Structure 1
Amino acid sequence: MRIRILLLFIVFFTGIHSLKAADPPFLQLVNDHWVNEKLEAMTLDEKIAQLMMVTVYPRQDELARGQMEQLISQNQPGGILVMQGDLVKTARWINHFQEKATVPLLVAVDGEWGLSMRIDSTVKYPYAQALGAVQDSTFIKQMGRDFGYQMREMGIHMNFAPVADVSTNPQNPVINFRSFGEDKIDVSQKAWYVASGMQEAGVVPVAKHFPGHGDTHTDSHKELPVVDHPKTRIDEIESFPFRYLTERGISGIMTAHLDVPALDNSGTPSSLSEKIVDGYLRDEIGYSGLVVTDAINMKGVQTGKGNAELEALKAGNDMVEFVPDIEKAISSVKLAVAKGEITLDEINLKCRRVLALKRWAGLHISEPVNTKGLTSRLNSPYYEVTNRKLIKGALTVLVNNDRLPVQDLGNQKIATVMIGASAKSSFQKMVDKYVKADHFTLSKSDPERELVSLRSELDNYDLVIVGIQGVNIFPSGAYGTTRIQRNAVAELVRENKTITVFFGNAYALKHFENIHQSGGLILAYQNNLLTQQLAAQLVFGAFNATGRLPVTVDNRFKLKDGISMPKNKSLAFSIPEEVGINSALLRRKIDSIARLGIDSKAFPGCQVLIAKEGNVIFHECYGFHTYKKEQKVEPSNIYDWASITKVTGPLPPIMKLRDEGKINLDEAFSHYWPDFQGTNKDGISFREILAHQARLASWIAYWQMALDDDGTLSGEVFKSHPTEEFDVRVSDHLYMNRNFRKTMFDTIRTSKLLPRKRYVYSGLSFYLFPDMISNLTGEHYETYLKTNFFDPLGAYSVTYNPYLHFPLNRIVPTENDDFFRNEKLRGFVHDEGAAMMGGISGNAGLFGTTTDLAKIFQMYLQKGYYGGKRFISEETVNEFTRVQYPENDNRRGLGFDKPYIDNHKKKLKNAYPAVDASKNSFGHSGYTGTFAWADPDNELLFLFMSNRVHPTRNNAELFNLNIRPAMHQAIYDCLDNN
């Protein structure tokens, strides 16, 4: 040992050029001026104290804080270990304690999954077992950086992480899920990714628990566990990650309290064994960094003499953690120095290491923690991005018999069951964004009769999506699972077509006897809000599945098992930062414009949805249904889409029929609508019709054709109640004679043409499209729409005449009609002409949620593909979304609206839509105040939903304030700020 100390002094004092590349970076500072100055000024007591770390509990009261301040003032420990506490209070306590320290305190935390392991209101990253499933190292290292950045914000300089133990014993009561897995190389690499990320951020990583705690049967907090393997096995498995980390220059390693006879047969705990610390770790493995003990107060390390701190330092540790009585510990070590049991040179060497580490961590210029805005900074969305990437990367598909991802939504009756829950879960709520499903729960304590009842209710479903929660992280008691949980899974898998998602420790799968017979099985590793939400998205194919099982569970589920599953281009739900947009900036811009509209009474309320790169990154509701402010706008509200119907109702079938060769755009429209044959419209092409260049009149006020001379509605056309002949329902209290529909069509047929071919927006042909589509397909128009488009897209809310399908309080009202229907319109189409078509028309009449409109437009944005299904060919989408007659200053596509010609040269107030909308972008607006726009060049989707016509259409403030273009441009401005 004396020779080793001499050699180390030679290394320390010959400068950084003598250091190996793998040496920890702080060793370059062992001869720093600040280190020398502090060391020379210290008494022996103070030097010994620098090797001690005491524990603080910010969850305690101010009396406890005062007592700790006194202890620090009197004993000047080298560091403190922060345990449970509130975020801001903890930071304030750290500031108080630093004020009492002559030499700044090295502040440490046990943060294996981030600060949240010990400190409230901080980001909780995945457990190590979940990280073991992640195949992309990028975000594991980024997590390490995140740890470092967050800890520096808190005034914390050392993290007792990562766990570098190899999990070879599934029954391990203390390591288990805390390990990256059973593959030593994977454990080593992932431990280094985390450690190196922290070191790059200026925080000291301390890998634990040397020489390896992965195969123990007892908990060292309670007794001394035995690692009963030969040295060859320990070299090969247990200590392998620590060798790997040593070679790469990790700054700290923690010694565990273990009985390892192959390394020291005296029964001495490994943390107190000179053979293991100095002999094995320092000499054989060659580790030169800081060595710190596991908590010295643990029962597994009690010596009987009460001098564990002294024995730890004699063994070769540099610091002792969790010292319960620092005064006694200092006295014990000081007496040992006097007796020659440990030399002053050894104390100086250890103290120099500690000081160099503090110097590397920046404690020579330590400043108080800034607690203002601390909670916000530590919960930055950029940290959530890392967390999301890790959770998505961890999700592991273990079984897939062509059930995943869930597709063919229009042909399946689906139920979800959350086993272990008593209320609708986050998982089930996310499922609602994809499919219409019925939801059930079964708690851990439900009686058997509840399972019998549940099985009966599920008999008529084509698919049952089962979620399993309420699984403990440690193995005792079958991981806390109950008989009803295990029986429920067994019976549902046996009797139903199932997809199962397991929210728990991978090892717990072994307690579910036939879970492997699920049609699809996803292992999510743990249970929290974000994991549930992302797992539900994976079920529907929103992102790739790449996870691999990091441990062997049993013969069914083995190490490295996992099935890759490519995404199917369903919408994902995320946050702006995941696509590189600053959420605070985006929210500030969108909120301000939305509030301007509400405050200016341009509309009583609105919704805004933004999707980027297939991710819904913003969906916010503002205001109320009406100016009475009785009902808030909610995401599930259903809007009258008005003219957006043109591109979501008849246009998808027309595009599909074009793909099938049943429509030729350059053929005369009269070929498909024979009523035009022999009229002035006989030669007009289908292309001209769709591009609004067919010389058709803009609109016809059909309802005015049904007025008597006194200006009242004709009794020959309208009645207030239905009869056999008056069966076309126009509104709540108005019914139309079915024969008047022919009059409307005749009026279109005989209408005059405009004098020349130029762009004039006309809705006349769109009245004809539903019947034309029915004639070409042989199916009822609305049935064809829902069967071929809305239901397969999972857009179940999209419908005509929503009053037939949904409660009225879910439908946003439009106008208080005081001239035709003389009632407040809610659930009935606002457009008079569409109303006279019985609510089913091609020009207007579709209603739906904002999310379901997003699905349709995302399908367009993805060139006709969505959710694993090709709805329309890419060639057809490209044709319909391009400008058809630019030489005629006509900006329109086929059905779709397009930006103004030379839009990018215009000022915002004169632009349409946004100035920066690409020339390839397309969309449509609606008279009621709706707007949908897709930009394929930027992979951007913008939806704005409002009822600006409430209570009257005469309100033009939406246009006067330029709300929609301004909001649209604000999104591009946020893109430019990246």
Structure 2
Amino acid sequence: MKVTNYTYIIICAFLFNTFELHATEPPFSKYKNDDWVNQQLEQLTLEEKIAQLMMITVYPKQNDASKDAILKKIESYKPGGILIMQGTPCKTATWINQFQEASETPLLVAVDGEWGPAMRIDSTIIYPYAQTLGAIQDTTFIYQMGRDYAYQLKLLGIHMNFAPVADINTNPNNPVINFRSFGEDKENVAIKSWMVAKGMQDAGVIPVAKHFPGHGDTQTDSHKTLPLVPHSKKRIDTVESYPFRYLAEKGISGIMSGHLNVPSLDESGKTSSLSKKVINEYLKTEIGFKGFVVTDAITMKGVQAAPGKAEFEAINAGNDMVEFVPDLEKAISSIVGAISKNQISEKEINEKCRTILALKRWVGLNEYKPTIIKDLTYRLNSPYFEVTNRKLIKGSFTVLVNNDALPVQDLEKTKIATLMIGSGQYTAFQKMLAKYTEVDHFRISKNATEKEWVNLRQKLENYSQIIAGIDGIHRYSSQKYGTTEIQRKAVSDLVEENKTTFVFFGNAYALKHFENIHHAKALILAHQDNKLTQELAAQLIFGAFDANGKLPITIDQRFKLNDGHEVKKNSCFSYTIPEEAKINSKRLYRQIDSIAELGISEKAYPGCQVLVAKNGQVIFHKCYGYQTYDSILEVTQENIYDWASVTKVTGPLPVIMKLVDEKKINIDAKFSDYWPDFKGSNKENLKFREILAHQARLASWIPFWSTTLDKNGKLDKQVFSDHPSEKFCVRVSEKMYMNVDFKKEMFDTIRTSKLENRHRYLYSGLSFYLYPDIIENMTGQPYEDYLKETFFKPLGAYTVTHNAYLHFPLKQIIPTENDDFFRMDKLHGFVHDEGAAMMGGISGNAGLFGNTNDLAKLFQMYLQKGYFGGRRYISEKTIDEFTRIQYAENKNRRGLGFDKPLIDNNKNNLKDAYPAVSASRSSFGHSGYTGTFAWADPENGLLYIFMSNRVHPTRENPKLYELNIRTAIHQAIYDSFEKKAF
């Protein structure tokens, strides 16, 4: 049966308690009589056999003198293995290669990798701690994590991992296990331990569960003293040893003996790792474990035996190997002496040595090959490993309080502040929150004064909602987990105002020091504090994915074992890496980078931006180049662009679709029913559908500004002025104002314009000048107000606006053209399109500005058939109608407002295609004259946004089209995921 959720954990627990379990032979056992094992054993002297039972410690972070000392030990005493401590990937692997070369019998290489190789090897992926994993309900992710561990360790030349920690942390004040345990529930610990172990074992690495018979309920640290486990044997049988029994039954390869005083198992008080009663009689005989047993570090204070004697007692107790041996010569000599005194037999040594050699045979050391150093760090950090890490973190989030606050929605009604309690920096959590809606950021350090908090609290009073992260929490319990009085006061004060959602980045036990946090509006336990966890927590708050984590421990009476509310996702964006969408990031980045950089080098544009989303996941968002050719300001994701004609499908069109849903517009009615000025004209009988599909014979465009020129080619002073007044109140550019009456002349010019002779596709923007007035008349609200309140603000697309210069600093806005024929000015924050400018910047044909991420939200709403972020904006039926080809019989590819692929697009080569050849027939989008492009493909779940200012400094630059940049990138995206990524 496939283990997938917590329900199955309970079932397993029931079966485990109902039936007697029998230990299973671990996979390496089949090699105990292997030819290679027999051959190696025959070649070893007694001293060398004993040395095979010893593991020494190496520190690759140290210098060559340290390495040379280890090499000398290996050559002189021939230990069975080495334990890797701190080091970099390449240096560690290089040292391992050199040690293996020096060893006559291949070395068994081990590491303490409880949260992956990163526990000892830097520059590698840091997986979640066990307590974090204890909250996860889908254990398939944990199994995959175990496999990831194995793949990474094998890349380094490591064969054994002293993990998982199978201790049940029933003591919240445990000074050494604590967050290293999966929790306090024995079934949860047993299943999670097995999933990690099985993942490693299935991938060819030896898992070693620790610390038998159980270190979870101790008051002291075995590194420093000998901890007491005061429980009865019955309790030890049913609680502490429970996970180890389960693992033995499943066939785990290894178990580590802990340094503990367990009187109920050995009344003498002898350290458990040195006790025959604990190892031979309890673990091997009573429990029936058939695998490999290794001690915890023999140098720990809990051992309470001298070097040499400790190693002998460990081997004599039943351990197969001793870890962290400080003096090989003394350890070997001690055991040789014990054999001569008949305190232990040579047969026992042979059997243990055979076990070690069988392990080596199982991991492939009979055909040893050196580790490949080239690109090692890159391979260790494969994005496929990060996908596992992301799934684990998302699955661990535990919502402890939710008073209808999660996910955060109704964005148009809230004014949000973000606050970091315990940080003096602008954090990854806050940066990610800003991708979802408009927020203002605040922070207060752990050491802030009460006055600083009072001043900040006054500022926060102006907000209707606060999203607060609590960080700077320590892993262990000393000094209240490192929390400070000001942190606790800040939380307490905010809770009283009942408008704060908290995310707790740290050890769950630390929550007990925040006395009223259970009365918060919402509380998410994120367990750990790192960049990825912060980013994903922010995404959860807005509904990017489900939350179903359960507390793996009891904190206090407020927060108990298995507490946790489920929160369902709401179809907003998530932000991730390509591999989570099964796309190879290396291939995707390489292809897009090369085309985008080509555009810059060929001066098709000074800079650009590309966003790709797959199935609602933003998997690529990268900026290239600069705002202008002077290379001063780099392009950033926060930059605001002039969307040009993309405005048509993001401004008036969503409102028209909504009004169709409300039956206020009938697209098969006459357009003049909604624009009465057309009555009595040659346009009286034009259908709304024909106009939206560019099939109505309307003229393509009218250069309104040129109609104001006098005979000398100068602008009419009756129409334009260089300063504002009551009459000249339509601002066209920084120093130009238009007579408000001329707007009617523009409409009259549209009314009297000629129609084409026959019905055919001819792109026309004329009707889009009229839609703002039509919408105002039908909704009773100013056009832009209605747009923002109905679409932009609820979507969290807060940067979308007309007349960007009024709302954003100029350095954030990408400049467009240096206008040398009409406005005679550098256009920066003012709309590029002349006609839209003469409408005061608020028009339906052009005029919207916004950043790339916010344009993506609008188009993702279309891609999701009118639904986004927990709200339906437009009906699925209407989206389908507007995005289908309307007049294919006339070879018109257009939908209603939306552009579509060429009728015969799949027959074209890339150069002649529009958009990409691989874009499906159901896809739709629009382009903009300034160099913008947005395209959605429902069939492939793909969204592509391209932003540039190709008209800077002049529109007389056709290279964006000549190089086919936008289409080439579009096709490269399809090419990257049409090939298998895995």
TM-score range, shorter chain: over 0.9
Cα distance in 1 for partners of 2:906, 2:548 equals 41
Q: What is the aligned counterpart of 1:52 among 33, 54, 67?
A: 54
Deviation at 1:191, TM superposition (A): 0.6
1:506 to 494, 504, 508: 508
Deviation string 1:258-303 (CA, Å, 9 cap, x unpaired) is 0111111000111000011000000011111110000000000022
3-state secondary structure, aligned to 1:500: strand
Residues 773-829 of structure 1, C-alpha deviation per residue, up to 9 Å, x if partnerless? 000000000000001110111111100000011111111111111111111111011
Contact preservation (8 Å) 1:81, 1:107: yes
CA distance in 2, matches of 1:496, 1:637: 35
Look up the match of 1:349.
Answer: 351
Q: 1:370 to 1:828 in 2, by over 3 A?
A: same
8 Å Cα contact 1:864-1:873 kept in structure 2: yes
- Structure 1 runs (4+) greater than 6 angstroms displaced: none
Aligned ranges for residues 58-69 of structure 1 at < 5 Å? 58-69=60-71
Match of 1:30 in 2: 32
Q: Secondary structure at the match of 1:553?
A: coil
On the 8 A contact 1:464/1:496 being kept in 2, the answer is no
- Looking at structure 2, the residues matched to 236 and 686 of structure 1 have their Cα atoms a distance apart, in angstroms, of 76
The aligned residue for residue 477 of structure 2 is 475
Report the alpha carbon displacement of residue 902 of structure 1 after superposing the two structures with TM: 2.4
Q: Residue in 1 aligned with 2:960? A: 958
Q: Which residue of 1 is the match for residue 694 of structure 2?
A: 692
Which residue of the partner structure matches residue 5 of structure 1?
none
Q: CA 1:305–1:660 in structure 2 vs 1: closer, same or farther (change >3 Å)?
A: closer
Which one of the candidate residues 166, 169, 179 is aligned to 2:168? 166
CA distance in 2, matches of 1:554, 1:870: 41
Aligned with 1:337 (options 316, 336, 339): 339
Q: Offset of 1:952 from its aligned partner?
A: 1.1
Distance 1:858 1:615 in 2: 10
Kept in 1: contact 2:773–2:783 (CA 8 A): yes
Q: For 1:104-137, what per-residue CA distance to the aligned partner results, in whole angstroms no more than 9, with x for missing partners?
A: 1111000000011011100000000110111111
Rounded to whole Å, the distance in 1 between the matches of 2:138 and 2:498 is 35
**Aligned partner of 1:554 among 534, 553, 556:** 556
Partner of 2:225: 223
Displacement of 1:370: 1.1
CA-CA distance at 1:305 after TM superposition: 7.4
CA offset at residue 654 of structure 1? Answer: 0.7
Q: Structure 2 CA distance, aligned partners of 1:487 and 1:631?
A: 42
Q: Indicate the residue corresponding to 2:148 in structure 1.
A: 146
Q: Would you say the 8 A contact 2:176–2:221 is kept in 1? A: yes
Distance in 1 separating the partners of 2:453 and 2:719: 57
Match of 1:635 in 2: 637
- Which residue does the alignment assign to 1:767? 769
Partner-residue secondary structure (3-state), 1:616: strand
Q: 1:398-797 counterparts in 2 under 5 A?
A: 398-797=400-799
Structure 1 CA distance, aligned partners of 2:33 and 2:372?
A: 31
> Sequence identity of aligned pairs in percent?
67
Q: Distance in 1 between matches of 2:383 and 2:892?
A: 43
**Cα distance in 1 between the residues matched to 2:93 and 2:52:** 22
Q: Which residue identity lines up with residue 80 of structure 1 in the other structure? A: I
Instruction: Give the letter aligned to residue 690 of structure 2.
Output: E
The DSSP-based 3-state class of the residue aligned with 1:460 is: coil
Quick one: structure 1 residues 304 and 967, their matched pair in 2 at CA, closer, same or farther if it must change by over 3 Å? closer
In 1: Cα distance, 2:131 partner to 2:767 partner = 61
Post-superposition shift, 1:33? 1.0
What is the identity, as a one-letter code, of the residue corresponding to 2:636?
E
Aligned counterpart for 1:96 among listed residues 98, 103, 108? 98
TM-superposed deviation, 1:381:
0.4
Whole-angstrom CA distance in 1 between matches of 2:804 and 2:553: 51
Distance in structure 1 (CA, Å) of the matches to 2:707 and 2:491: 64
Q: Distance between the aligned counterparts of 1:306 and 1:314, measured in 2?
A: 12
Structure 2 matches for 1:885-964, cutoff 5 A? 885-964=887-966
Matches of 1:319 and 1:396, distance apart in 2: 40
Supply the distance in 2 between the matched residues of 1:949 and 1:863 (Cα, whole angstroms).
33
Q: Distance in 1 between matches of 2:462 and 2:86?
A: 50
Tell me the alpha carbon deviations over residues 594-629 of structure 1, each in whole angstroms, 9 at most, x when there is no partner. 011111111111000000111100000001111111
Q: Structure 1 residue 90: deviation in Å?
A: 1.1
Alignment of 1:781-860 (within 5 A): 781-860=783-862
- Correspondence for 1:156: 158
Conserved? CA contact 2:23–2:290, under 8 Å: no
Q: Determine the C-alpha separation between the residues in 2 that align with 1:280 and 1:348.
A: 22
For 1:727, what is the secondary structure of its paired residue? strand
> By how many angstroms is 1:95 displaced?
1.2
Measure, in 2, the Cα distance between the counterparts of 1:665 and 1:556. 58
Q: Is the 8 A contact 1:758 1:890 kept in 2?
A: yes
Q: How far is the alpha carbon of 1:439 from its aligned partner? A: 1.1
One-letter code aligned to 1:230: S
The partner residue of 1:183 within 181, 185, 195 is 185
CA contact (8 A) 2:23 2:248 kept: no
Contact 2:308/2:334, CA 8 A, preserved across alignment: no
Instruction: Quote the residue 1:17 is aligned against.
Output: none
User: Are the counterparts in 1 of residues 307 and 330 from structure 2 also a CA contact under 8 Å?
Assistant: no
Q: Give the deviation of 1:496 after TM superposition.
A: 4.1
Gaps of 5+ in 1: 1-19
Distance 2:153 2:356 in 1: 19
RMSD: 0.9
Deviation digits for residues 182-210 of structure 1 (CA, Å, limit 9, x no counterpart): 11111111111110110111110000010
Compared CA separation, residues 727 and 179, structure 1 to 2 (3 A): same
Q: Which residue does the alignment assign to 2:5?
A: none
Work out whether residues 308 and 333 of structure 2, in 8 Å CA contact, stay in contact via their aligned partners in 1.
no
| One-letter amino acid matched to 2:578 | P
Q: Which position in structure 2 is the counterpart of 1:192?
A: 194
| Matched residue count | 959
Looking at structure 2, the residues matched to 577 and 932 of structure 1 have their Cα atoms a distance apart, in angstroms, of: 23
CA contact (8 A) 2:210 2:258 kept: yes
Residues 308, 330 of structure 2: 8 Å contact kept: no
Supply the distance in 2 between the matched residues of 1:21 and 1:256 (Cα, whole angstroms). Answer: 20
* Partner of residue 238, structure 1: 240
SS across alignment from 1:384:
helix
Shift, 1:22, TM fit = 2.3
Alignment-mate amino acid for residue 801 of structure 1? N
Q: Distance in 1 between matches of 2:620 and 2:398?
A: 27
Letter in 1 for 2:705: W
Counterpart of 2:669 in structure 1: which amino acid?
Answer: E
- How does 1:276-295 map onto structure 2 within 5 Å? 276-295=278-297
User: For 1:360-379, what aligned pairs fall within 5 Å after superposition?
Assistant: 360-379=362-381
Conserved in 1, the CA contact under 8 Å of 2:308 and 2:332? no
Match of 2:88 in 1: 86
1:507 counterpart SS class: helix
CA-to-aligned-CA distance 1:624-655 (integer Å, 9 cap, x gap) = 11111111111100000000000000011111
CA distance in 1, matches of 2:275, 2:181: 24
Whichever residue aligns with residue 742 of structure 1, its letter is K
- Relative to the length of structure 1, the TM-score reads 0.97
- Mark the runs of 5 or more structure 2 residues left unpaired by the alignment: 1-21
* Partner amino acid, structure 2, of 1:378: L
Match of 1:388 in 2: 390
| 8 Å Cα contact 1:699/1:763 also seen in 2 | yes
Amino acid in structure 2 at the alignment position of 1:111: G
Q: Give how far 1:158 is off.
A: 0.3
Deviation at 1:304, TM superposition (A): 4.9
For 1:400 and 1:889, the matched residues in 2 are separated by 54
Q: Distance in 2 between matches of 1:517 and 1:21?
A: 48
